[in-house]
């Protein structure tokens, strides 16, 4: 299945590994993921970043996520493994929940009929998860997220890119604030 993505790795602490699963259109070079990656590297994490080859279908992305989180290329025992998923990358939520992996989930696909497994997995999340979405994003479900025991951040007026239309200053501030939230969340995991 790995022919639908390339995996790029920057080594840091081998006992703390983060796997970043971006969207197809919002790649790891997009502002929030780029700065989050930099913050995680600065904290000393080993960072694995997926680059999709083309546009995978939902089932292909689900299979790839499971392969990345539990396969032979995944971190081994005794490793804190954090998952960061954006949009398509949030198809990893069911696998991460099943494996007991903490996650940061940016614009999860909570309202898509074809991704009901995400909604079901999110409804059972407790602690060790941070969900981030925009109030103007049609894939975000404020009521569901607010009912969870997991942490969440909602960007008022934010769209699916977590941006406020026609307000570049506010968008820069949002990237800075959300990167700080991600950094704070990742800092809460002790080295094992």
pLDDT in tens, 145-179: 999 999 999 999 999 999 999 999 999 999 999 99
Structural domain includes residue 56? yes
Domain count, the chain: 1
Residue-number span of the structural domain to which 162 is assigned = 2-187
Predicted confidence band at 192 (pLDDT cuts at 50, 70, 90)?
very low
Structural domain includes residue 49? yes
The CATH number of whichever domain residue 19 belongs to comes to: 3.40.50.1820
Name the phi and psi angles at 18, rounded to 5. Answer: -115, 135
Structural domain includes residue 192? no
The pTM assigned to this predicted structure is 0.94
Structural domain includes residue 166? yes
């Amino acid at each position: 299945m790995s022919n639908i993505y390339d995996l790029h790795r920057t080594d840091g602490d081998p006992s703390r590994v983060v796997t970043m699963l971006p969207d197809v259109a919002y790649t790891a070079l997009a502002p929030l993921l780029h700065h989050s990656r930099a913050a995680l590297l600065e904290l000393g994490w080993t960072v694995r970043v997926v680059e999709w080859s083309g546009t995978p279908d939902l089932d292909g992305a689900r299979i790839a996520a499971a392969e990345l989180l539990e396969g032979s290329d995944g971190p081994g025992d005794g490793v804190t493994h954090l998952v960061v998923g954006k949009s398509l990358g949030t198809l990893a939520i069911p696998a991460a929940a099943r494996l007991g992996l903490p996650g940061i989930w940016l614009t999860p696909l909570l309202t898509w009929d074809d991704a009901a497994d995400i909604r079901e997995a999110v409804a059972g999340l407790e602690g060790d998860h941070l969900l981030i979405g925009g109030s103007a994003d049609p894939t975000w479900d404020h009521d569901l997220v607010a009912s969870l025991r997991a942490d969440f951040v909602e960007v008022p007026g934010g769209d699916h890119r977590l941006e406020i239309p026609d307000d570049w200053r506010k968008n820069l501030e949002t990237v800075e604030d959300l990167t700080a939230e991600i950094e704070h969340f990742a800092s809460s995991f002790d080295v094992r």
